[in-house]
Amino acid sequence: MSDLAPTARRTTPDGGRRTRAAGNRGHWALRDQPALLWLLLALVMTAIHPFVPDSRWLMVHLVLLGALTHAIMVWSTHFTQALLKTRPGLDDRRAQSIRLWLLLAGTVLTLVGVPTARWPVTLVGASLVSAAVVTHGVQLVRRLRGALPGRFRVTVRYYVAAALALPVGAGFGATLALGLSDVWHGRLLLAHTMTMLLGWVGLTVTGTLLTLWPTMLRTRIAPPAERRATQALPGLVASLALLVGGALLDVRWLSVVALVGYLASLAWWASAVLSPVRQAPPREFAPSSVGLALVWGLAALTMVLWRLAGAGNWADFVNGFGWTSAVIVVGFAAQLLTGALSYLVPSVVGGGKTVVRAGARWFDRWGTARLVTINVGLLLCLLPVPSIVRVIVSLLVVAALATFIPLMILGIRASSRAKREVAAARERGERPAGARPAPGAEAGTPDRMPSIWSGGQLVAALSALVLAVSVGVAADPAAAGLGGSGVGVAEGTVAGGDASAAVTPTGNTTTVTVEAHDMRFEPASITVPAGDRLVIELVNMDDNNVHDLQLLGERSPRLGTGDSATLDVGVVGGPAQGWCTIVGHRQMGMVFDVFVGGGDGGTAAEGAEGSGQDGQDQRGAGQHGGDQYGAGQDDDGHGGPGIAAFPSTATPLLDPGARVQDVVDPVLAPLGEERVHRLTLTAQELELEVAPGVTQTRWTFNGQVPGPTLRGRVGDVFEITLVNDGTLGHSIDFHAGALAPDQPMRTIAPGESLVYRFTAERAGIWMYHCSTAPMSSHIAAGMAGAVIIEPEEGLPEVDREYVLVQSEVYLVPGSGQGEEPAAEVDADAVAGERPAFVTFNGVAGQYGPAGEMFEAEVGERVRFWVLVAGPNRPTSFHIVGGQFDTVYAEGAYQLGPQSEGAGAQALALQPAQGGFVELTFPEAGHYSAVSHIMVDAERGAHGVVRVTD
């Protein structure tokens, strides 16, 4: 915008006159560095987000509230001065610096207050941000009144309207931080998001692009652009007001109509403002990035409109909003900011075209590769790809965005160096070398920079993305639908019946459509003429669960909601049975029978029989031909209904000297002062240790078993965001809250999220767990944790507190040991109640002599919280050599502090029950803590308390 930067004259001490730009020429640390710092922090948060509470909220607000808001404050002031040409003293750099420091302080407090649930800190932060922006708006009005009539004054009016929107949006945001019901949360989320996005950011962007867009394209402003921008402003402001009003009044149809009105006004504005792109397509990084950002901004508004119109209620609108946030932050905000700064930063350094080009060349570096990686990568992440693919591709997107930071630093240095060289050349009376056209510029067009578009960079970026997708698919082929058996069916051979059976192919093909609904296939059975080739069109009609179908050695991809696939199983020569291979689904009845017409008329299930409950593998007559897994075992080696069961003696004895690699810390964190607890629980499927030297593919909350322990008081509000980053449908159920399960406890598909809010009204230690069917398998796989709620007045203080969540591990025999790969939970063993291990905090024997023991000192009062997650086994918690003087179970004292002289030896709990015991140790030594159901203690539910003097 250097051609719009006005000049002012001042008298030098010697009476001469010196010309200087009034647009903050040169480097100004407070202008250039904070936005860069916020972007850097956003990148760091992206890297460490699995380990930071409320990380997604922080990533969004580091970009929008931190970097983008700072840039708006700086550059709207710059553009206002450039357009109005007011006297410099009206709003000098000192006044601007005060506002920017105020904004910086408010942003920091807000980013601290919300994740830590300190609402007063959040309120102060929001107030400081609002004060900075309101003061900024007042200065804009002063400039308008003090300026002579001129063109493009409407831009400043856009800025004033935007400044009025921010404190309103900040107020909504601060109210959201209080923790509200689903209804009010959804209404205020819409009001807050739209006020900030369409008001503060949207009005600023539309006002600025009136002049900046053609300037970046190095072409003229369209003649009707100013008039249409003036006409569009009332429509944009009125539509925003109606949209917010509809949200607050719970009139969603009004918000839908208002959003359509905003889009219509935006289209009228764009019809003239953006038209120069037809005459001068973007050649440099800056206009290309800004243009793509506008496309993603329109996509984000379309997504909001779609969700708003299609949501059954406000909770539905909120759930899954994370993808819209990703589009807003990555596609729109980040690209808009980096694109605009790529043009503006070199322009304001001053020194002429030579200096501008020197910096701009750095901002244009690798432009094609960066833009393709960011935009195609973001599009891939929005598609229903496997989780691991999304993770790898998103890393490439973040890396492409991150390159802006070093390029900006190098660009500023290059501009500063060129400015000094130009000044030195002029002092020597020489023509600066850089005054000639830039290398690669078109002849006769010295103002045009070389084009960033490169076929080589395009190929390189697409190749990197293809490689990322390939690596992700290779890491999790089953999630990508490539985890079939790999056994093909040769032309003219038999795929069904006994392996030695002979059938003459008829040459005909039987095609049938099979739908997966809940935990069943429809139809559940079909009859196929012997010798026909069978082709199944499988469609997943389940709302949230992932399903597939394995039949006669062939397996379909895992299908999400609405997905379909074709499964060609070849020529059928006998009865067969297929099933869904997702853990537990077969056991719940997801089987598919194929009968053969003109044959023996037997059922498919009959072909799977022939093995009793003694676990002996009876291969032969009852074995399906073409099933390379043996007598009815699926691809994971699991058994199923009517197939060979594993021996009940599969439980290995633990080696008392073996060490656990990663011991789960049993120490209970102290109760804090916050009354609103916010936590993001991410469902992930990871390989974890379940016993010394034994691993299993665990289904986890936040990558750990058990999930994080929550702690609060009666009356506290818990706001939990569940994010499904796995490959299966998952859900969550908090026993500590009392509310209808229909919405907050529903199963969500991979890539989706929901917000679960409850108020703790009763004390105790409560279980939370995944409630997706089969619930037993999801809990046994590790998806459970504890919520400890103390009475409002608190509990008596103790010297040490430990928390133990007892659960079982159901292990496929031999898996996860030595060179054998880890398998998922054995659903048949769960149904047969045959645990391989019983654990405290997810790992058998981890608190034994060879591990990390519980610590205590003689005379200290120690409290053990115990929760039985199950899914099947109870406990009788006992400490050998100790006596409990306090026993609390299921919200009530069985042996209270006033029961002098009485004692207890065990805390008996059934699955989903919990409590605590307290005791003091009389002398130094080693005290075993066990489940006194001794077979379970031997399976791993044991530990040692080491007591020292």
> Phi, psi at residue 898, to the nearest 5°?
-90, 0
Is the pLDDT confidence value at 492 over 50?
no
What pLDDT digit, counting tens, does each position of 439-468 carry?
Answer: 334 433 445 678 899 999 999 999 999 998
Give Cα separations from 850 to 173, 275, 881 (angstroms): 50, 73, 20
- Say whether 434 sits in a helix, a strand or coil: helix
Distance CA 482, CA 209 (A): 47
User: Hey, what are 67's tokens?
Assistant: 């970097």
Query: Cα–Cα distance between 177 and 167 in angstroms, integer?
Result: 15
Closest listed residue to residue 314, CA positions, set 771, 757, 769: 757
pLDDT digits (tens, 9 = 90+) for 214-240: 988 888 888 899 999 999 999 999 999
Model confidence band, residue 657 (pLDDT cutoffs 50, 70, 90): low
Provide the percentage of residues in the chain whose pLDDT is more than 90.
40
- pLDDT class for 360, splitting at 50, 70, 90? confident
Q: Are 883 and 890 in contact (CB under 8 A)?
A: no
pLDDT of amino acid 245: 93
Report whether pLDDT(298) > 60: yes
State pLDDT tens for residues 857-905. 999 999 999 999 989 999 999 999 999 999 999 988 999 876 677 899 9
Q: Would the pLDDT of 281 be above 50?
A: yes
Neighbours of 93 (CB within 10 A): 14
What pLDDT score was predicted for residue 599?
43
Position 321 scores a pLDDT of: 72
Q: How far apart are CA 370 and CA 389, in angstroms?
A: 19
Q: Which residues contact 234 (CB under 8 A, 6 or more apart)?
A: none
- Provide the pLDDT for residue 486: 36
pLDDT, residue 629, reads 25
Three-class secondary structure of residue 319 per DSSP: coil
pLDDT of residue 668: 94
20/726: higher pLDDT: 726
Taking residues 290-312, what's their average pLDDT? Answer: 88
- Tell me the pLDDT tens digit for each residue of 675-725: 899 999 999 989 999 988 889 999 999 999 999 999 999 999 999 999 998
Ranking 353-357, 592-596, 787-791, 887-891 by mean pLDDT, the lowest is: 353-357
Residue 26 pLDDT: 53
Compute CA distances 265 → 124, 231, 246, 667, whole Å. 35, 8, 18, 58
User: Span 125-144, mean pLDDT?
Assistant: 92
Taking residues 10-21, what's their average pLDDT?
A: 36
Over residues 470-483, the pLDDT tens digits come to 888 887 675 565 54
**For residues 180 and 568, which has the higher predicted lDDT (pLDDT)?**
568
Q: Which segment, 274-278, 659-663, 785-789, is predicted with the most confidence on average?
A: 785-789
In this structure, the strands spanning 800-809 and 861-870 are: parallel
Confidence band of 436 (pLDDT split at 50, 70, 90): very low
Quote the pLDDT of residue 482.
59
> Residues 831, 656: contact at Cβ < 8 Å?
no
Given a cut of 70, is residue 496 above it in pLDDT?
Answer: no
Give the mean model confidence (pLDDT) for residues 115-136.
91
Output 444 or 515, whichever has higher pLDDT. 515
Place of tokens 């006409």: 231
Q: Give the CA diameter of the chain.
A: 114
- 327-345 residue pLDDT tens: 998 999 899 989 988 888 8
| pLDDT band per the 50, 70, 90 thresholds, residue 850 | low
Predicted local distance difference test score (pLDDT) of residue 92: 76
With CA atoms as reference, report the closest residue to 722 among 769, 677, 755, 686.
755
In DSSP terms, which residues pair with 568 in a beta bridge? 535
Of residues 831 and 180, more confidence is placed in 831
Q: For residue 129, what pLDDT band results from cuts at 50, 70 and 90?
A: very high
Flag the least confident range among 425-439, 632-646, 930-944. Answer: 632-646
Higher pLDDT, 47 or 548: 548
Of 703, 944, 643, 695, residue with least CA distance to 837: 695
368 by Cβ neighbours in 10 Å (0-12 / 13-18 / 19+) ranks as: buried
Whole-number percent of the chain with pLDDT over 70: 83
pLDDT score at 487: 35
DSSP secondary structure string for all residues of 584-627: TTTTTT-EEEEEEETTT---TGGGG----TT-----STTSPTT-
Which residues on adjacent β-strands are paired with residue 803? 865
Q: What is the pLDDT of residues 601-646, one digit of tens each?
A: 343 433 333 333 333 333 233 333 333 222 233 333 333 332 222 2
For the chain, give the number of residues: 949
For residue 414, pLDDT beyond 90: no
> Is pLDDT above 60 for 20?
no
Look at 209-218, 245-254, 517-526 and tell me which has the smallest mean pLDDT. Answer: 517-526
Q: What pLDDT is recorded for position 793?
A: 87
Residue 119 pLDDT greater than 60, yes or no: yes
Q: How confident is the model at residue 654 (pLDDT cuts 50, 70, 90)?
A: low
- Taking the C-alpha atoms of residue 93 and residue 833, their distance in angstroms, rounded to an integer, is 73
Whether the predicted model's global pTM rises above the 0.75 cut: no
Distance CA 641, CA 632 (A): 9
Looking at residue 367, what DSSP letter applies?
Answer: H
SS (H, E, C) 817-830: ECCCCCCCCCHHHH
pLDDT band with cut points at 50, 70 and 90 for residue 911: very high
pLDDT for 500 equals 33
- Alpha-carbon distance of 177 to 304, in angstroms, equals 21
Grouping H, G, I as helix, E, B as strand and the rest as coil, residue 464 is: helix
pLDDT confidence tier of residue 933, bands split at 50, 70 and 90: very high
What mean pLDDT is predicted for residues 852-859?
Answer: 92
Q: Calculate mean pLDDT across residues 909-937.
A: 94
Could you give the residue ranges of the DSSP H alpha helices within 675-806? Answer: 775-780
Mean pLDDT for the chain overall: 81
How far is the C-alpha of 624 from the C-alpha of 485, rounded, in Å? 15
Span 8-28, mean pLDDT?
Answer: 41
Across 729-742, average pLDDT: 91
CA dist., res. 842 & res. 780, Å (int): 10
pLDDT at residue number 789: 96
Tens of pLDDT, residue by residue over 767-822, are 999 999 889 999 999 999 999 999 988 899 999 999 999 999 998 887 877 777 88
Q: Rounded CA gap, 844 and 836, in Å?
A: 10
The pLDDT of residue 647 is 32
